[in-house]
Amino acid sequence: MALYVGTSGWAYREWKPGFYPAGVPHRRLLEHYSSQLTACEINATFYRVQLDSTLLKWSAATPEGFRFAVKAHRGLTHARGGLVTGNDKRSLHQRFVKSVSLLGKRLGVVLWQFPPHKQRDDGGLETLLDTLPTNYRHALEFRHPSWDAEAVSQRIAAAGATVVVSEIEGDVRSSLPPGPLAYVRLRGNHYSEQARTQWLKLLQHEAMERDVYAFTKHEGLPTGDPYGGVGLAQWLVQRV
């Protein structure tokens, strides 16, 4: 079991020279990033199916123990109707899955992030769970409060996935949703000394039983702040 920590994306020029040395060229940003952190949540896959060459390049630029969390294509999560529409999205689903498979062992988890207006739909959830490739791990993020129910978390865990914890206030959870993995998005701007220490303890405790993915906020924060953003991610990795 392991704890994987990173941010959402890596190609941020404003991270120079605080996180990236001034002389590192853009093409080598991921190489440096993966020498400092152990995971990255990819947003680019949400907007378009990536070129095979791009995914192979990402995999080759990172060490063996590094993991990517790839965000599912918006055509699969933000379409009208249910969680995932029927046959009209099957081709996109197949192309997306085939594409991200090129990451090989670097592919840690697929993030299914649904928009705030999508309310709880148990039938749609069953359809989605039936379509998830069983050879990959999955995390589902619901942003409408109607999904916040133990029955939902338990059903998703039974299907081999987990519900995402997205924390924006700098608070600490006492536990994480069930499942064969855990997925946490620490989106707060600032975590107190006590809060970040408690998060570290919780993440380490959970990682004793299952793989845990934790991603801090990536934009709008100084790189050298160990209480938020990429600085917090570095702090967590150093203590793990």
Whole-number pLDDT of residue 170: 82
Q: How many domains does the chain have?
A: 1
Question: What's the CA gap between 193 and 197, in Å, rounded?
Answer: 6
Domain range holding 96? 3-239
Q: At 63, list the tokens.
A: 């060490």
Burial of 23 (0-12, 13-18, 19+ CB in 10 A): exposed
Q: At 195, list the tokens.
A: 């809060």
Residue 42: φ, ψ to 5°: -90, 125
Whole-number pLDDT of residue 86: 52
Helix, strand, or coil here: 171? coil
Closest by CA to 71, choosing from 39, 105, 112, 102, is 112
Residue 222 sits in a domain whose CATH number is: 3.20.20.410
Burial of 21 (0-12, 13-18, 19+ CB in 10 A): exposed
**Do the strands 107-113 and 138-141 form a parallel or antiparallel pair, or are they unpaired?**
parallel
Whole-number pLDDT of residue 1: 81
Judge contact between 184 and 111, C-beta under 8 A.
no
Predicted model pTM: 0.94
Q: What is the pLDDT of residues 43-101, one digit of tens each?
A: 999 999 999 999 999 999 999 999 999 999 998 888 776 565 555 577 888 899 999 99
